[in-house]
């Protein structure tokens, strides 16, 4: 019987060996696939070759040039319905626009000497302006207030509101009242508009008269609040020299000779492109965007090169080609040209004109009182019904991109730092850019979009106190120095910081094992708290520890699979 049993045993042993061999092969294949999958995932997710984006070295060295460059002219005081003002501000903030230039009409606010009562609406004449200021703070937008428009009691009989006051001190009193009311909330004030046109100055051109008004307003404003910033009136761009107009270059030369250079902090100018691209060469006989360079030469000639230039009105008119040529005061371009040239011009100025600060586009949206038959209608970048035009979309694309902080250092009023609530600027030569922003308002917040792994708050030599709540990507922050309150909110105890602290790490090691990515941090002041900010520093410090660990694990798996597949039964 033994000669028949042995073959059966051999067959069974062979089957078992074959099964073990198949199982080993299957195990090896599974391990190989899993290891290769791990390697592929690791390489795809961590992308070790991904380039690092960093902020180009900023060329702006003038204090008021280091700001969000995007502003718009608004007519919010003319919008009766609050929801329309809200919608307008919402769209401005969503576009990354950091400033509005808004008129505050002296004739409306002080209709009778010393009185601020609106007889028509039977309410405080300040009311709607207070609402506009509060709205801007809520959306993280700063205001450039244009002050002009003389009430009847302060000018000669039978004259228009564009007539200057009989006594400049009456206007100076109004400016002082304005500065006191909005102390720390509206600090950028433009004194009058286009006085080089007779129609804007009571029917005549009078540089000496404007110089007196500017000096009176400047002195009274600074006496109330030394941190207020005075913008000169922008002059109309013109080559006409007549009883009704004076070229802005000639007007400014006369102002400088009169000593007016001592009575403003920022030069205002206008820059319309007419039918020329934003890079068209400047010439004294030509109106275009770069004409402002001729004004800059004049500033340098009179020793004013340390001041920034802000553009009061800027843009192109996209009237239809069916409009009569004699109506096209500003010439015309296509909507595509308007949409392309508006951000292109701002980008060109940021790169080539380091003295240009905020550029206020003319204009954002009107309330419906400008008909389509008027070429002025076609400057808008948002329709009356809140439909965005092409220019709004191109502005939004560029402006929001400028709000993303790449690795580098940013000043307190640059585009990435969006301040909600009251954050007044304070002039201080000890600060990084000669100024800082501060707040002691509970709930006041700073928001920063950044692309990196580290964020450090830079402080001026002003001691902080209280609590600073920190959220990163919508969640409570964690890390060194971060505590939690009873509600689970993350905060930094500002009062416990060592005396003389100039840097506060806010974010550290966020996503450092992965390619550079966008994040958002929000800082909010608690009650009885105070914080001054000189700027922020963003960094990206890439680590490869996890990439290496997963890579080794994957390679080990591949090696193990190879060993299993080479084994013989």
Task: Determine what percent of the chain is predicted with pLDDT higher than 90.
Answer: 81
Mean pLDDT of 284-304: 97
Taking residue 415's Cβ as centre, other Cβ atoms within 10 Å add up to 23
Q: Model confidence over 475-506: pLDDT tens digits? A: 999 988 999 999 999 999 999 999 999 999 99
Q: Can you tell me the mean pLDDT for 152-157?
A: 97
pLDDT at 519 over 60: yes
pLDDT at 542: 86
Q: Is residue 126's pLDDT more than 80?
A: yes
Closest CA to 222 of 432, 437, 427: 427
Please, what sign has the CA dihedral across residues 110, 113, 114, 116? Answer: negative
pLDDT at 115: 96
Higher pLDDT, 42 or 198: 198
Query: What per-residue confidence (pLDDT) applies to 17?
Result: 57
Of 325 and 137, the one with more pLDDT = 137
Beta strands 435-439 and 483-484 are unpaired
In the structure, what pLDDT confidence band is assigned to residue 292 with cuts at 50, 70 and 90? very high
Q: Residue 438 and residue 533: Cα distance in Å, rounded?
A: 6
Are 438 and 533 in contact by the 8 Å Cβ rule? The answer is yes
Cβ neighbourhood burial of 451 (10 Å; 0-12, 13-18, 19+):
buried
Q: Which of 116-125, 331-340, 410-419, 548-557 has the lowest mean pLDDT?
A: 548-557
Instruction: Compute the average pLDDT of residues 177-196.
Output: 98
d(CA 112, CA 228): 26
What pLDDT is stored for residue 206 in this prediction?
98
Percent of the chain, pLDDT > 70? 95
Residues 78-101, mean pLDDT to the nearest whole number: 97
Q: Which pLDDT tens digit goes with each residue over 213-250?
A: 999 999 999 999 999 999 999 999 999 999 999 999 99
Terminal Cα-to-Cα distance of the chain (whole angstroms): 29
The DSSP element (H or E) to which 25 belongs, if any, is helix 2-46
Q: Report the distance separating Cα 423 and Cα 280, nearest Å.
A: 38
Question: What pLDDT score was predicted for residue 562?
Answer: 80
Please give the average per-residue pLDDT across 72-92, as a whole number: 97
Is the pLDDT reported for residue 15 higher than 80?
Answer: no
Assign 1 a pLDDT band (cuts: 50, 70, 90). Answer: very low
- The mean pLDDT of 34-59, rounded to a whole number, is 78
CA distance 166 to 150: 10
Q: pLDDT at position 512, please?
A: 86
pLDDT of residue 268 exceeding 50: yes
The per-residue pLDDT for 565 is: 75
Q: Indicate if the pLDDT at residue 510 is higher than 70.
A: yes
Number of other residues whose CB lies within 10 A of the CB of residue 234: 26
Q: Angle between the 248-257 and 292-301 helix axes, to the nearest 10 degrees?
A: 20
Tokens 């040209």 belong to 337
Read off the pTM. 0.92
Q: Look at residue 177 and give its three-state secondary structure.
A: helix
pLDDT at position 6, please? 55
149: left (phi over 0), alpha (psi -120 to 50) or beta: left
User: For 322-348, b where at least 16 C-beta lie within 10 A, e where not — what string?
Assistant: ebeeeebebbbbeeebbbbbbbbbbeb
């Amino acid at each position: 019987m033994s000669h028949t049993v042995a073959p059966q045993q051999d067959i069974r042993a062979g089957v078992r060996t074959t099964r073990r061999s198949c199982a080993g092969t299957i195990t090896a294949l599974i391990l190989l696939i899993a290891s290769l999958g791990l390697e592929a995932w690791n390489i795809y997710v961590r992308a070790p070759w991904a380039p690092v984006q960093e902020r180009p070295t900023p060329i702006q060295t003038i204090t008021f040039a280091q700001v969000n460059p995007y502003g718009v002219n608004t007519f919010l005081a003319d919008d009766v319905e609050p929801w329309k003002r809200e919608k307008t501000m919402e769209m401005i903030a969503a576009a990354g626009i950091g400033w509005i230039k808004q008129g505050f009409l002296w004739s409306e606010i002080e209709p009778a000497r010393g009185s601020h009562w609106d007889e028509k609406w039977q309410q405080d004449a300040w009311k709607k302006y207070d609402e506009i200021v509060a709205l801007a703070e809520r959306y993280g937008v700063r205001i450039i207030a244009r002050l002009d428009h003389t009430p009847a009691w302060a000018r000669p009989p039978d004259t228009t509101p564009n007539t200057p006051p009989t006594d400049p001190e009456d206007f100076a009193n109004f400016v002082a009242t304005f500065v006191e009311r909005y102390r720390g909330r509206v600090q950028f004030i433009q004194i009058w508009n286009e006085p080089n046109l007779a129609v804007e100055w009571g029917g005549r051109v009078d540089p000496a008269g404007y110089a007196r008004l500017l000096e009176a307003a400047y002195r009274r404003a600074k006496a109330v609040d030394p941190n207020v910033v005075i913008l000169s009136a922008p002059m109309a761009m013109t080559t006409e020299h007549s009883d009704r107009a004076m070229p802005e270059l000639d007007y400014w030369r006369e102002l400088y000779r009169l000593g007016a250079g001592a009575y403003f902090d920022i030069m205002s100018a206008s820059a319309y492109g007419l039918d020329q691209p934003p890079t068209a060469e400047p010439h004294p006989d030509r109106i275009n965007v770069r004409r402002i360079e001729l004004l800059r030469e004049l500033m340098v000639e009179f020793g004013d090169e340390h001041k920034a230039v802000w553009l009061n009105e800027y843009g192109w008119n996209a009237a239809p080609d069916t409009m009569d040529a004699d109506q096209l005061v500003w010439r015309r371009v296509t909507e595509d040209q308007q949409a392309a040239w508006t951000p292109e011009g701002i980008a060109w100025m940021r790169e080539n004109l380091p003295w240009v600060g905020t550029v206020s586009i003319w204009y954002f949206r009107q309330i419906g009182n400008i008909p389509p038959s008027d070429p002025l209608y076609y400057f808008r970048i948002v329709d009356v019904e809140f439909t965005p035009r092409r220019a709004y979309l191109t502005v939004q694309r560029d402006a929001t991109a400028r709000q993303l902080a790449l690795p580098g250092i940013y000043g307190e009023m640059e585009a990435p730092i969006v301040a909600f609530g009251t954050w007044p600027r304070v002039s201080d030569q000890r600060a990084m850019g000669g100024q800082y922003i501060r707040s002691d308002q509970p709930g006041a917040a700073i928001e920063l979009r950044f692309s990196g792994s580290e964020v450090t708050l830079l402080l001026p030599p002003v001691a902080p106190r209280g609590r600073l709540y920190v959220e990163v990507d919508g969640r409570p922050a964690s890390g060194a120095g971060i505590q939690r309150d009873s509600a689970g909110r993350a905060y930094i105890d500002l009062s416990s910081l060592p005396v003389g602290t100039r840097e506060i790490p806010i974010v550290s090691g966020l996503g450092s094992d992965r390619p550079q990515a966008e994040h958002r941090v929000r800082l909010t002041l608690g009650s009885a708290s105070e914080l001054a900010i000189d700027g922020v520093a963003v960094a990206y410090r890439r680590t490869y520890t996890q990439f290496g660990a997963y890579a080794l694990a994957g390679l080990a798996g591949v090696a193990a699979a190879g060993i299993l597949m080479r084994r013989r039964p």
